[in-house]
Amino acid sequence: MRAVLFTFAASFALFTCAQATPMTPDTQFDFWLGHWDLTWADGGKGTNTITKELDGHVVHEHFNDPTNKYSGESWSVWDAAAGKWKQTWVDTQADYMTFEGGLVDDRMELSMHKPDKKTGQVFLYRMAFFNISPAAFDWEWKRSPDEGKTWELQWAIHYVRKG
């Protein structure tokens, strides 16, 4: 496990701001910082801008899908007492979601339980950031009806860093 974390930390150091000290848990989302162009399978396109705020303790996301007139924001913070990342998401569809998670091998994963809006069935939802490089990464949104035994892909987005 230490070797995996070291490898992950070393790869993040390539695209974080000249880290002179080893990566700490509160810098694990630094790969996400910046301005991004997004694409997904149905030809959709959007943008995402990620900043660090509140003395560098909060990662703030500004997501925009102009075609579908959909936007949202998230706030992520490292909860040292719980030993995990916590994220709150709100959007133009009046969704409010709260996630928890962290590094799993070479992926950042956050999850939550929530009922489906149409059926009321409770699903386990998971977002994952993976294939992370300085210039790009992939993100997936999946849900599981059986606590993670099987997963249904809901949305896959490819991120490319602007400029």
Q: In the chain, where are the structural domains located? A: 32-161
Hey, what long-range contacts does 137-144 have (CB within 8 A, 24 or more apart)? 137/31
CA separation for the pair 140, 96 (Å, rounded) = 19
CA separation for the pair 51, 35 (Å, rounded) = 9
pLDDT at 6: 35
Structure tokens at 135: 């210039």
Which candidate, 44, 86, 41, 43, places its Cα nearest to that of 63? 44
pLDDT at 22: 57
Element (H, E) at 11: helix 2-13
CB atoms closer than 10 angstroms to residue 104: 12
- CA dihedral (142, 2, 26, 153) in degrees, to 10, reads -10
Topology given in CATH for the domain delimited by 32-161? Lipocalin (2.40.128)
pLDDT at 50: 98
Prediction pTM value: 0.84
Q: From start to end of the chain, where are the E strands?
A: 34-40, 45-53, 58-65, 70-79, 84-91, 96-104, 107-115, 122-130, 136-144, 152-161
Reading the chain (163 residues) residue by residue, the pLDDT tens digits are 444 333 333 344 434 444 444 568 889 999 999 999 999 999 999 999 999 999 999 999 999 999 999 999 999 999 999 999 999 999 999 999 999 999 999 999 999 999 998 999 999 999 999 999 999 999 999 999 999 999 999 999 999 999 7
pLDDT at 41: 93
